[in-house]
Amino acid sequence: MKILAAYLLAVLGGNTYPSADDLKDILCSVGAEAGDDRIDFFLSQVKGKDITELIAGGREKLASVPAGGGGVAVAAPTSDAGGAAVPAAAAAAANKEEKVEEKEESDDDMGFSLFD
């Protein structure tokens, strides 16, 4: 990622096709290091390609990647003391109540006051 970031910084700075030395200079200026073989491999992959076309192609590929947010997590059914199954919603509500109680405890002043 740091090689990509250095490449994008060089392009934004006006250098349409940065060299390996350009990328090394940018990386060294912030104290980062990258192997010569990784820089050479990256430059071989983007050689002669326009950055705007590469970004547009990447966006098209990312558009097909599922981003989640539509699925619902289902908890395994648990049982109460009588052995009957407790609905997942009730178990989730109990867990939520426990988390709320823990948060209230963490709001204490931990035995000392800032202004004592």
Q: What is the architecture, at CATH level 2, of domain 2-63? A: Orthogonal Bundle (1.10)
**Which residue ranges make up each domain of the chain?**
2-63, 73-107
Side-chain-facing half-sphere of 98: CA atoms under 13 Å: 6
pTM, 2 dp: 0.54
pLDDT tens string for the chain (116 positions)?
Answer: 899 999 999 999 999 899 999 999 999 999 998 889 999 999 999 998 888 998 998 898 888 888 776 655 555 555 555 555 555 555 555 555 555 555 454 555 566 665 65
Q: How many CB atoms lie within 10 A of CB 36?
A: 9
What distance in Å separates the CA atoms of residue 50 and residue 31, rounded to the nearest whole number?
Answer: 28
